Amino acid sequence: MAEHLLASLLVENDLHGY
């Protein structure tokens, strides 16, 4: 579960450019 959440955050950050 944690892995999926972490991956989502990483992807979102990448998309936003943070």
In angstroms, rounded to a whole number, what is the distance separating the alpha carbons of residues 7 and 5?
5
Handedness of CA 5, 11, 16, 18 (dihedral sign): positive
pLDDT at position 18 is: 61
Please state, in angstroms and rounded to a whole number, the distance separating the CA atoms of residues 18 and 4.
19
Model pLDDT, residue 15: 75
pLDDT tens per residue, range 1-18: 688 888 888 888 777 766
pLDDT computed for residue 17 by the predictor: 66
pLDDT at 7: 84
